[in-house]
Structure 1
Amino acid sequence: MKNSLKILLLVVCFQFYSCSDSDDKYVDLVAEEGEQYSGGETTFFNTTEEAFGFSAPNLTFDEQSDFGIGNSFFRQSWVTAPSSTTARDGLGPFFNAVSCSSCHFKDGRGRAPLFDGETAHGLLLRLSIAGVNTNGSSFADPIYGGQMQDNAILGQTLKGRFNIVYQDIIETLADGTVVTLRKPTYVFNSLGYGPLANDLKVSPRVANQMIGLGLLEAIDESTLLAFADVTDVNNDGISGKVNYVYDVATNSKKIGRFGWKANQPNVRQQVAAAFSGDIGITSSLFPNENCPPGVDCNAIANGGSPEITDANLDKVALYSSTLAVPGRRNYTEQNVLEGKKVFETINCTSCHIPKIKTGNTHVITALRNQTIRPYTDLLLHDMGIGLADNAPDFEASGLEWRTQPLWGIGLIFTVNGHTNLLHDGRARNVTEAILWHGGEAEKAKNSFKQLTTKQRTQLLEFIDSL
């Protein structure tokens, strides 16, 4: 009888524990209300190769019209002057690409060249030397300028080309997974105008996807300053700061938001700088051609002065500001929600801030008062020696980079056919990108390395859903 009672009690206890474990230990996670609307009301749901190319659905009729014109200037190729196509002539004389879309194919992300000599791939090299100009920008190479253009129009000597040599670095995760990282070194060749400066700093920059730029511009300065913690007051190891950069139009310093080091204050100046440096198209903001010493730019035919009018520049800026952010995919799936929890637990959200509200003053009404999910703070962070370019950029040090927005990251392969990430495209996937994190992100990276295989898979599924 006693033995029978003991068996009965054990069975009852086992059943009770099992039910309790099943009911209390695991509870289905639930997505936040509106979590799928990464760009607020500007979100567009499309998962095709055109996912980055739609206009925000809440634009006015006139803005939609200007968006279409800006789109044509973004996608179509510029030609050498003189040409019957007077609105699109003036290419070069030195350039990296013939159109914006050459690097931002389908409004997406560029990559490093796949073979020596490949051009118009979406990776360029910024050049600087010690010292700063009166506006706070770095001194450029005295011969080759602030950017290596690896193309030239007919009749001009090429500035030069570069090759990339990769060194393998092995990382081993806690579950035994071995990951091979690639560290790039840039080798210049075919230099057309003499040697580069002895103390030259080379900073590679990959063209980013274009989505949501206007929303980032619409975030109030006070919001960004509230994110900053320069002296790490809360002792979490994260000490982001804003970059103060030169605003050409107002001849003043403004908070930088765009570019890998947040070195541009607004979309319009970012667009004009790209026209100048990448395509060789002058504008009212950047009226000078990129000619080495000894090359008389005035003797080379141009497409007018400036080569893109303010009206057309404004339309390209509007286009670049109002490309819709793709909506989330699979955001209600349990694996994705578990991955989101892992993302928060290992403190990725200290820099990749999930949710921000835009201000109410942006010139484009559609971008005002939007609850967005960009997963960035737009601040500069020390990312460690492994990613350092050692090239200061206004107040950004050679160790610091702007937090990359993560929205749209899961669609890069669909749109552009690759998954290369980071400022120079060295990371071939999200895992490699995380393993390159250092400096302020060293702790989060080490936590990532300690995840179980299941946790890591869930985290990557979450990031892929963004």
Structure 2
Amino acid sequence: MKPHLVIPLIISLSFPAFSFAYGVKSGGDTSTNKQGSNAFSMPSNNLPISKRLDFSVGNSFFRNPWVQAPATTDARDGLGPLFNTNGCQNCHIKDGRGHPPEEGEDQAVSMLVRMSIPALTKQQTQQLIISGVIPEPTYGDQLEDFSIPNAKPEGKVKIEYTKFNVSFNDGAVIELRQPKLILHDLNYGELHPDTMLSARVAPPMIGLGLLESIPVETLKRLAQQQKEGRDGISGRLNQVWDAQTKTTVVGRFGWKAGQPTLIQQDAAAFNGDLGLTSTLFPYENCSPPQTICAELPNGNSQDEENVEVSNKILKFVEFYSQHLAVPIRRNTTEASVMRGQQLFESVGCVSCHTPEIKTAKRDGLPSLSNQTIHPYTDMLLHDMGTGLADNRPEFLASGTEWRTPPLWGIGYTKEVNGHTYFLHDGRARNLMEAVLWHGGEAQKSKQKVLSLSKSDRDALIAFLNSL
């Protein structure tokens, strides 16, 4: 139990003065010039020293493992009994991008599987307003493949790939791989026959507070401009349930923009991924047929909150999530990078990957306010075609729609995370594979990329790696 929260921390109050003599500050004044494996783990460069302690406290709860209750570590107990990981950093490795299991493996630590069934009744249709999906009756809306010692995990997941070739107009060939999810060793019964599955790797954590600070009016304007453009690009905003305000609002976070705010995104991850309750999600992540959550000890506090993740902890993690800096662009004056930027625009990628947006003024968050940023996203849902479809709706997002992911920092993926797996399920093994999976609204742009010469294709990738 945790009546008090005491966190002994020693931090250095000496911070280097960053120099931005080169490159472009993708995150405005928040941008960091940190490179290497910790490039995604720095606080916003304009965050005052007085607030860096809050950042460090949030980092400690994001980084350190949670444990089974009861425990002497009563500020971090209550893990599970069903979970995907025991710490946020295990999925968002070094605050970066997750990856799918390799072929033959069934340990999907930084990838999870969403599950749901179609809404068939009037009551279920009404439920969609709040939950966005109808959870699978036995396993809920997410497969938990780990458990505490006194429980059984829900099951295991592995991936098999079907591989096929795609040819460029000049005869060059690239191999793509189509994933197939396989759930096995299910411990709580059979899946509903109409279960829809969707694999999701953990996205990078950088710049999230800036994305949260983009005015709704700006996002609506982008959607309207696309609609009026009549070029086949027509993004739209997801509309999702806000657990704090008890209203339907614009969705911003998650692969289908299914969460409205960072604090709700964080609380949902604590609940679904770690099996931890909060005031936003006060119930354990067991479905009604799973009685283990009621039978085993929990880490709920003995105060009026009566949850495992207190509001105080949640606010620290929110602050940390809001203020992870975006690293600056690199190699921006190289001829190939400048040529690649021209191609990125000419083939139409900027129609969805919006290069420049300005954030709003936010009370209490001056570091994030009034920043001119370069996220390369419009935050809108787009139909990406049948190739990328998971065929699993989420609130207004259809089974073929995905939110445009921000591209800032994408060139740091290899040095931060040691891999170059991209897209929502990590199927793309490099940036060009990711480009060639685009379909639907992006089909015309993909066809233009297929017609590029080898030197132009290399320039396009050089530009993406400069972000």
TM-score (norm 1): 0.91
Q: 1:34 & 1:223 partners in 2: Cα distance? A: 29
Question: Which amino acid in 1 is paired with 2:280?
Answer: L
**Corresponding residue for residue 118 of structure 2:** 130
CA RMSD of aligned residues (A): 1.4
Question: Which amino acid in 2 is paired with 1:232?
Answer: K
**Corresponding residue for residue 77 of structure 1:** 65
Query: SS at the partner of 1:84?
Result: coil
Q: CA deviation at 1:294?
A: 4.1
Alignment pair present for 1:196 and 2:191: yes
Q: 1:231 & 1:352 partners in 2: Cα distance? A: 12
Is contact 2:234–2:382 with CA below 8 Å preserved after alignment? yes
**Corresponding residue for residue 253 of structure 1:** 248
Question: Which amino acid in 1 is paired with 2:278?
Answer: S
Greater gyration radius:
1
Aligned residue pair count: 434
**Corresponding residue for residue 3 of structure 1:** none
Alignment pair present for 1:38 and 2:26: yes
Question: Which amino acid in 1 is paired with 2:204?
Answer: Q
Is contact 1:218–1:362 with CA below 8 Å preserved after alignment? no
**Corresponding residue for residue 149 of structure 1:** 144
Question: Which amino acid in 2 is paired with 1:215?
Answer: L
Question: Which amino acid in 2 is paired with 1:191?
Answer: L
Question: Which amino acid in 2 is paired with 1:76?
Answer: N
Is contact 1:102–1:120 with CA below 8 Å preserved after alignment? no
Q: 2:290 & 2:460 partners in 1: Cα distance? A: 54
Map 1:240-389 onto structure 2 (within 5 A).
Answer: 240-292=235-287, 293-304=289-300, 305-389=306-390
Is contact 1:230–1:241 with CA below 8 Å preserved after alignment? no
Structure 1: gaps spanning 5 or more residues = 1-32
**Corresponding residue for residue 458 of structure 2:** 457
**Per the alignment, do residues 136 and 303 of structure 1 end up closer, same or farther by CA in structure 2, a change over 3 Å counting?**
closer
Is contact 1:96–1:278 with CA below 8 Å preserved after alignment? yes
**Corresponding residue for residue 12 of structure 1:** none
Q: Which moved more, 1:409-418 or 1:167-176?
A: 167-176
Q: 2:108 & 2:72 partners in 1: Cα distance? A: 25
Map 1:88-107 onto structure 2 (within 5 A).
Answer: 88-107=76-95
Question: Which amino acid in 1 is paired with 2:296?
Answer: I
**Per the alignment, do residues 358 and 378 of structure 1 end up closer, same or farther by CA in structure 2, a change over 3 Å counting?**
same
Query: SS at the partner of 1:385?
Result: coil
Is contact 1:59–1:366 with CA below 8 Å preserved after alignment? yes
Question: Which amino acid in 1 is paired with 2:337?
Answer: V
Query: SS at the partner of 1:302?
Result: coil
Query: SS at the partner of 1:86?
Result: coil
**Per the alignment, do residues 271 and 294 of structure 1 end up closer, same or farther by CA in structure 2, a change over 3 Å counting?**
closer
Q: 1:399 & 1:251 partners in 2: Cα distance? A: 28
**Corresponding residue for residue 181 of structure 1:** 176
**Corresponding residue for residue 51 of structure 1:** 39
**Per the alignment, do residues 362 and 180 of structure 1 end up closer, same or farther by CA in structure 2, a change over 3 Å counting?**
farther
Is contact 2:33–2:327 with CA below 8 Å preserved after alignment? yes
Alignment pair present for 1:208 and 2:203: yes
Residues 351-393 of structure 1: CA distance to partner in whole angstroms, max 9, x if unpaired?
Answer: 0000100011354111000000000000000000000011110
**Corresponding residue for residue 223 of structure 1:** 218
Structure 2: gaps spanning 5 or more residues = 1-20, 120-124, 301-305
Is contact 1:385–1:438 with CA below 8 Å preserved after alignment? yes
**Per the alignment, do residues 177 and 363 of structure 1 end up closer, same or farther by CA in structure 2, a change over 3 Å counting?**
farther
Question: Which amino acid in 1 is paired with 2:438?
Answer: H
Q: CA deviation at 1:137?
A: 1.2
Residues 324-350 of structure 1: CA distance to partner in whole angstroms, max 9, x if unpaired?
Answer: 100010011111011000000001000
Q: 2:108 & 2:307 partners in 1: Cα distance? A: 24
Query: SS at the partner of 1:184?
Result: strand
**Identical-pair percentage:** 48
Is contact 2:31–2:326 with CA below 8 Å preserved after alignment? yes
Query: SS at the partner of 1:188?
Result: strand
